[in-house]
Structure 1
Amino acid sequence: MITKTIDDNSISVIPEDSEDLLNLRRIIKKDDKVIGDTTRVLKQDKDYARPDKGERIKVRIELTVEKISLDDVLDKLRVGGTISESSNESVPNGSHHSFILKLNDGITISKKKWLPIEKKLLESSNDQISFVLVAIDTSDSGIARLRGTHLEFMPNIYSGSGGKRYKTSFNIEKFFEQVQQALSSIFKEGDTIVIFGPGETKKRFANFLEKSQKLQKFKIQLVDGIDSGGEDGIYIFTKSHTMQEIMSDSKLAKASSIIDQVMILANKKSRKFTMGYNETFNANQMGAVESLVFSDKAIQDNDEQQIMDFLNDAENKGVKIYSVDSSTDIGLRVTGLGGIVSLLRYTVES
């Protein structure tokens, strides 16, 4: 999340991924002020003008928040309320409006008083470790950027190598150039490029990148043991223990470790874990939750505001919280376990 403090009461924000939108859902409350740009259609009052025809204009408005909700679960945030200020007199104060906030949209949030947890949520994604994953072999390459627990995929890139028939004419350098160009479009300074796949192609591509001048200030991590290229290779990598080892500080690795521990405890018939919202809510009421992982299923199957209040209460108690989505196998596993799981500090009787 890109943030800029305007004054003691107002902070401008730009969400960069779905977790940022979720954090904003937890931050923005009823009666807060949200300032942003929107468009309105102004009807024409001219003679003979079509009654359905109007001019679309850009307006900057300040909204007093009445209702906030996640649209399409974690892809958009809808903020509705009453207009308290407008840059155009044709858009009157007191009328109702909704902002549809998407990734990379900017707004300013103004509160009478910012709570510590709200500022913590704003800052929580600023120091996230990001990785660009490359699963490559001689036939194709899969590329995805991992930020937090969300995977953003690019379309597979195919080399055009057709086996023995084309062996003499196949130019792997041109294939590497295509992959490098795709990497350049999503790579950001500070990212680590993680390369894996069958055979020696990954090492040749790593050497190619190191000689290149197009990607500056990057780190490369080579990974063995993932014998698939393309999108399949990336999915296999994110399920592997290798991922947990080399990305131990990433949110995805930490969330994966929690789920693995929950499954071990379940097999041992231990009660130091919970599955599902009700179990986890009750354990949190007792202060027993140490860490939890939830997916969008927890939001879909329960009252949205109730879930937000629960997450904020848990975070205030020092619980480590990780959100996951269906872009990864880990997100699908959590969904299959009721949408939310947690590790407990001590056993809680159900």
Structure 2
Amino acid sequence: MNSLPSSTPRWDIFCAVVDNFGDIGVCWRLARQLAVEHGVAVRLWIDDFDSACRLLPTARPGTEVQRVDQVEIRHWTTPLPDVQPGDVVIAAFACDLPVQFLEAMARCTPRPVWINLEYLSAEDWVAGCHRLPSPHPRLPLRQYFFFPGLDRTTGGLLREADYADRRARFVAADFWRALDLPPPAPDELRVSLFCYENPALGELLDLWRQGSAPVTCLVPEGRVLPGVARAFGLSDLRSGDRLVRDALRVQVLPFVAQPCYDELLWACHLNFVRGEDSFVRAQWAEHPFVWHIYPQQDEAHLEKLEAFLARYRVGLDPLAARQLTDFWQAWNRGQGVAQAWPAFREALPALARHGKAWSASLMEAGDLARNLVQFCKDEI
């Protein structure tokens, strides 16, 4: 690999892939933005290389060290190769760094800035924990908690510098033409469906099938696909498959790379998203969306869902706010979707207007990559 100037900041990002593509989706987006926009030499360590390679179509499976889009990608193996830690070390989503790497960090002069990049949450306690230091119990190191978030008291959300320009150049007609679909009919609803397994899925698809207005549902390959197949009485579905049942048309898309996923969100009237990365992208897309939050034991995730809804509802018409809340809760509980859908469908125009104002409010927090860079500069 080409050598870099000694003045180039060097960052290590460690990513343990625990939720298919959610964690690596955030880490890859951050790594690429740091390299492209901030001139950082990023070394991204990934433990599940097979999953990562689906998200990085130009990556070469089985290659321990490679460079993709200005990012050095390394297979996180045990034991870890003997390397010099970077100026900044990020443990994404509280993953445990290898002991030998921590010991190498402790021997550095000056010691690296160690960041624990946390999950996105709208809960009130996040602001008080953002940027707090925590000493290592044995080594002369301290890590800083860095929280993505929705306002200036947190680290903000990832958003590339060219996002607005890409959005302005996007032509929906070209997108539909590439999928061999006509433009939406005046009364048609175009939906993207990216979610976890959900017992309410069959009920929702049946509602759309029996509806008076046409619905086209675009389903990228992922965990929800077997559930869609079962709803249609099929054993499986694959990329390129198309199904038409009464008012419902379903089209299965190949696994969608990150830049193309933004286009899918821009093109559709309603987007079902999950986890964190697609959740953030849906907020930037400014269209109505439904968040399927990652399920946790004892329904702790429902508290996090309500914390976000409490913020997102601000400025919404009270009726639309209730319709939004009812459907999101039904979808995340996996029951009551049939009762909640008609009212939620009526709220979509109000939610579309609200999406623009919400996106503008998020901009006030700045973007996560830039905020991280500034924080680490201050600490160094």
Q: TM-score, normalised by structure 2?
A: 0.27
Please state which structure has a larger fraction of its residues in helix.
Answer: 2
Please state which structure has a larger fraction of its residues in strand.
Answer: 1
Q: TM-score, normalised by structure 1?
A: 0.29
Larger radius of gyration: 1
